[in-house]
């Protein structure tokens, strides 16, 4: 497994990390002592977050929870809406774009239009707005996306995710590493999910990771991998879906990837075709004219039938980019992903979450 990179080349980063760590510890202490208030709610509030900055596989787990709970409950997803162009609280609609609510909330709303999706950098205000919705629309369960450090809202269930390739135990505090808070923050988690695992991971390998993470035995631990689904047209009316297996060994692919770590995606595509050219951009990247020019230059070196592939997040941003030429629409696909549980643990995870929501629901009824 890969170890996390640290900012060793900048000596000033270490004292900054020390100061940052002291500040975070003081903040957490204030929450622990009740000096800073955490608000609780009469419904199940499930937080999905991580200790590190950057992609750790939160969104696939949020979507898994949506698929699990939405057939039984009115579900809302509340996110910060990172890199959106709007401010404050925004309740997503079917026509909301990544510019208005952020790429990941836009992706979730597009895939699961029947649920409520809202964004607000102030999660406590966002929760109040959601609970003020008309009774028929008011959520019975709220899933908080990337909210482990947003402690003004106290979740009823806190799920911490950590990337199997970048375990938090091998990381350092910002700005030396990518940790948002000390590793001891794991103690606030009710459950830990190790994400992006090799689908062929052996039980002994998972036990080695558990030993390294030093998770309290009372906290459930799960391991997930990424499953790649069929290719979906970014403009579906012009580009029908097709199976990933339809890519032949000589299919030319230009991959556009604005995500934290595109290497697993590139590796997956190269299992299907040897002709993969990857253009990588920063996570949540906004595409500008210079980026479109790079894509055009790369396509000129390829055959005319070259497919353009991107992630679901990138697709949300490309749809609202007027600079993206219409003549490329018919060959531009997004590759959806889903979290899958290893070692047959999906039923155990499902039962744990549903039992939790039922317990919160029953306790609220008894308090009435």
Tell me the pLDDT of the chain (368 aa) as tens digits: 444 555 555 678 999 999 999 999 999 999 999 999 999 999 999 999 999 998 889 999 999 999 999 999 999 999 999 999 999 999 999 999 999 999 999 999 999 999 999 999 999 999 999 999 999 999 999 999 999 999 999 999 999 999 999 999 999 999 999 999 999 999 999 999 999 999 999 999 999 999 999 988 889 999 999 999 999 999 999 999 999 999 999 999 999 999 988 999 999 999 999 999 999 999 999 999 999 999 999 999 999 999 999 999 999 999 999 999 999 999 999 999 999 999 999 999 999 999 999 999 988 776 66
Q: How far is CA 220 from the centre of its chain?
A: 20
Show contacts of 186-189: CB within 8 Å, 24+ apart.
186/51, 186/160, 186/213, 186/215, 187/216, 188/148, 188/158, 188/160, 189/148, 189/158, 189/159, 189/160, 189/219
The structural architecture, per CATH, of the domain 34-227+341-367 is 3-Layer(aba) Sandwich (3.40)
52 assigned ligand-binding residue: yes
Question: What is the per-residue pLDDT for 6?
Answer: 56
Q: Which residues of the chain form CATH 3.40.50.300?
A: 34-227+341-367
CATH class of 230-335: alpha beta
126 assigned ligand-binding residue: no
21 assigned ligand-binding residue: no
248 assigned ligand-binding residue: no
59 assigned ligand-binding residue: yes
What is the model's pTM? Answer: 0.95
Q: How far is CA 3 from CA 54, 56, 197, 221, 281, in A?
A: 15, 14, 14, 21, 22
Q: Which of 231, 224, 264 is nearest to 65 (CA)?
A: 224
- Cβ contact 243:231 at 8 Å: yes
54 assigned ligand-binding residue: yes
Residue 106, CB half-sphere, CA atoms under 13 Å: how many? 24
């Amino acid at each position: 497994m890969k170890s996390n990179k640290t900012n060793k080349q900048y000596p000033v980063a270490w004292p900054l990390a020390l100061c940052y760590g002291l500040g975070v510890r003081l903040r957490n202490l204030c929450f622990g002592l009740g000096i800073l208030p955490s608000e609780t709610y009469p419904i199940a509030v499930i937080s999905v977050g991580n200790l590190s900055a950057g992609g750790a596989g939160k969104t696939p787990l949020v979507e898994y929870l949506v698929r699990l709970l939405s057939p039984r409950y009115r579900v809302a997803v509340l996110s910060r809406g990172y890199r959106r162009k709007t401010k404050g609280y925004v309740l997503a609609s079917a026509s909301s774009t990544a510019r208005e609510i952020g790429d990941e909330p836009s992706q979730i709303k597009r895939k699961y239009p029947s649920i409520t999706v809202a964004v607000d950098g102030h999660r406590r205000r966002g929760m109040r707005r959601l609970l003020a919705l008309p009774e028929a629309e008011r959520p019975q369960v709220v899933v908080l996306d990337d909210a482990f450090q947003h402690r003004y809202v106290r979740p009823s269930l806190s799920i911490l995710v950590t990337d199997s390739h970048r375990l938090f135990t091998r990381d350092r505090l910002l700005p030396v590493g990518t940790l948002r808070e000390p590793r001891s923050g794991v103690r606030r988690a009710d459950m830990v999910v190790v994400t992006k695992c090799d689908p062929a991971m052996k039980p002994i390998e998972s036990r080695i990771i558990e030993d390294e993470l030093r998770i309290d035995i009372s906290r459930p631990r799960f391991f997930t991998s990424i499953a790649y689904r069929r290719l979906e047209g970014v403009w579906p009316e012009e580009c029908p879906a097709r199976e990933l297996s339809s890519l032949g060994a000589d299919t030319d692919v230009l991959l556009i990837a604005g995500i934290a770590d595109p290497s697993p995606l590139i590796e997956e595509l190269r299992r299907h075709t040897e002709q993969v050219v990857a253009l990588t951009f920063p996570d949540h990247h906004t595409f500008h004219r210079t980026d479109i020019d790079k894509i055009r230059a790369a396509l000129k070196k390829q055959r005319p039938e070259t497919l353009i592939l991107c992630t679901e997040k990138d697709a949300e941003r490309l749809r609202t980019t007027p600079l993206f030429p219409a003549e490329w629409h018919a060959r531009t696909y997004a590759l959806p992903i889903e979290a899958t549980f290893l070692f047959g643990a999906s039923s155990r995870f499902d039962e744990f979450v549903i039992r939790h929501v039922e317990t919160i629901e029953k306790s609220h009824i008894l308090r009435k």
